[in-house]
Amino acid sequence: MIVIDLEATDLDRPRLIEFCAIAIPVKFIKSADSNWFRVLDKLSFCVYPRRNVSFEASNLTGLYNDILYDKKIFSNDHAELIKLFIANQLPPVCLIAHNGFRFDFKLIKTELFYIGASLPEDLICVDSLMIFNKIYNQSNKESDFKPSAFHGARNIDQSLFDSINQKNESKASGQKQRRSCALNSLYKTLTGEDIQNAHSAESDCIALCRLIHEAPDQFWKVLNEFICSWKDIKSFEFVKISTLPDGVFPSQT
DSSP structure string for 211-228? HHHTS-THHHHHHGGG-E
Distance, CA of 253 to CA of 180 (rounded, Å): 47
Domain parsing of the chain, residue ranges: 2-236
3-class SS of residue 32: coil
pLDDT of residue 94: 96
Q: Per-residue pLDDT for 106 more than 90?
A: yes
Q: What is the arithmetic mean of pLDDT over 113-127? A: 95
Q: Which residue would you say has higher pLDDT here, 135 or 175?
A: 135
Under the banding of pLDDT at 50, 70 and 90, the label for residue 201 is very high
Angle at 185 between CA 179 and CA 123, to 5 degrees: 90
Reported as a pLDDT band with limits 50, 70 and 90, residue 36 is confident
Report how far residue 31's alpha carbon sits from residue 34's, in angstroms, rounded to the nearest whole number. Answer: 8
R_g over Cα of the chain = 19
* Cβ neighbours of 59 (radius 10 Å): 10
pLDDT band at 250 (very low <50, low <70, confident <90, very high): low
Distance between CA atoms of 78 and 80, rounded to whole angstroms? 5
State if pTM tops 0.85.
Answer: no
Instruction: Identify whether 92 is preceded by a cis peptide bond (ω within 30 of 0).
Output: yes
- Cα separation of 67 and 70, whole Å? 7
pLDDT tens sequence across 121-149: 899 999 999 999 999 888 534 333 333 23
Per-residue confidence (pLDDT) for residue 139, from 0 to 100: 53
Looking at the chain, the whole-number percentage of residues with pLDDT higher than 90 is 60
Terminal alpha carbon distance of the chain: 37
Confidence of residue 241 (pLDDT cuts 50, 70, 90): low
Regarding the domain delimited by 2-236, which CATH topology (the fold level of the hierarchy) does it fall under?
Nucleotidyltransferase; domain 5 (3.30.420)
**Who has greater pLDDT, 33 or 231?**
231
pLDDT at 35: 77
Answer whether 2's CB lies under 8 Å from 23's CB.
yes
Average pLDDT over residues 43-53: 96
Contact 199, 60 (CB under 8 A): yes
Instruction: Taking the CA atoms of 218, 205, 114 and 94 in sequence, report the sign of the dihedral they define.
Output: negative
Across the chain, mean pLDDT equals 82
* Mean pLDDT (whole number) for 156-171: 41
DSSP-derived letter for residue 94 is E
CB 168 within 8 A of CB 142: yes
For residue 183, the Cα-to-chain-centroid distance in whole angstroms is: 8
d(CA 77, CA 60): 27
